[in-house]
Amino acid sequence: MKNKGNNLFIGICLAPAVILFGVFMVYPTLNVFRMSLYKWGGLTANKTFVGFNNFKIILKDMNFLRSFQNTLFLIVVVTIVTLSLAIIIAAILVKENIKGQNFYRVIFYIPNILSVVVISSIFSAIYDPSMGLLNGLFRLFSGEGYKSIQFLGNQGIVIYSIAGAMIWQAIGYYMVMYMASMSSIPVHLYEAADLEGAGRIKQFFSITLPLVWNTVRTTLTFFVISTINLSFLFVKVMTGGGPDGASEVFLSYLYKQAYNNASYGYGMAIGVVVFLFSFALSAIINKATKRDVIQY
């Protein structure tokens, strides 16, 4: 009788969360799959069932393929650079006992306090061809003959400019996570390595990295998924997908198709592709990074 009472109490406590999750997560997700099978502008009640025709169009849509390439580029480059710098900086701050460690934590973490819109606006100003900081520095060292670089207006470099903003925004957050994980590593392991003659780099790859691998693995999966989401915000504010679609990513192209071009059904088909891609990528990362837990 007591167990039934406990189960009822637990059920009542969980019910609001389950209902909210079902209404605002499960149902909209299933509805995306359903609407991807229709041709619909999104503003009228007229829907035409087209089956998998939207997905066939996706395979031939060069603009979508370019957005896929840009998203893949950001996932690979931003993830590798951000997490690599974060773990290296964290190792230096923790292992080298640098004075003012908490000060550096705060300084590096500040970008995470700011909204993506603010950061995007800051970098848009930095990249400005006439008054921007970067062009100002280049002009200072190059002389009067210097021609301003269109960081956000050049199709060849715009995606790299967005990647730079995303890297700057994320380093501090993951650095703090790695510092917390590294702080729990026993000092005697490093002392024993010193006696064995192992250098700093050897200690990092033999002690630090293996013992924080579970944290790295978790942050890797989380960061890859967040990159897909954050890239949309950076692109929306900084370039709007331009110039000429050169900076379009998954979600920005989905948004334009669903809401700007009145192709809601086609946009939902893109949403299904993004969902399946994210799910598959997370599974691959979890499988590829799985290691035996090292205890100490």
Taken in order of first residue, the domains within the chain and their CATH numbers are: 60-288 (1.10.3720.10)
Q: Which two tokens stand for residue 197?
A: 């003659």
Rounded average pLDDT over 156-185: 91
Give the per-residue pLDDT at 106.
Answer: 83
- Find the range with the poorest average confidence among 62-71, 100-109, 245-254: 100-109
More confident position, 20 or 3: 20
Percentage of the chain lying above the pLDDT 90 cut: 36
pLDDT band of 20, cuts 50, 70, 90:
very high
Q: What is the DSSP string of 46-85?
A: --EE-TTHHHHHHHH-HHHHHHHHHHHHHHHHHHHHHHHH
1 pLDDT more than 60: no
How many Cα atoms sit within 13 Å of 90 on the Cβ side?
A: 27
5 pLDDT more than 70: no
Give tens-digit pLDDT for 203-261: 888 888 888 888 888 899 889 888 998 999 999 999 999 898 899 999 999 999 888 77
Residues 6+ apart with CB under 8 A from 183: 94
Long-range (24+ apart) CB contacts under 8 A made by 127-130 are: 127/151, 127/152, 127/161, 129/153
Give the per-residue pLDDT at 294.
Answer: 64
Give tens-digit pLDDT for 22-52: 998 889 888 889 999 988 887 777 888 888 9
Q: Is the peptide bond before 129 cis (omega within 30 degrees of 0)?
A: no
pLDDT band of 201, cuts 50, 70, 90:
confident
Q: Which residue blocks in the chain are alpha helix, DSSP H? A: 2-21, 27-35, 53-60, 62-95, 101-113, 116-126, 133-142, 158-182, 187-195, 200-203, 209-211, 213-238, 250-255, 264-288
Give the per-residue pLDDT at 295.
Answer: 62
Contact indicator for 211, 296 with CB cutoff of 8 Å: yes
- Number of neighbours of residue 135 by Cβ within 10 angstroms: 21
pLDDT band of 296, cuts 50, 70, 90:
low
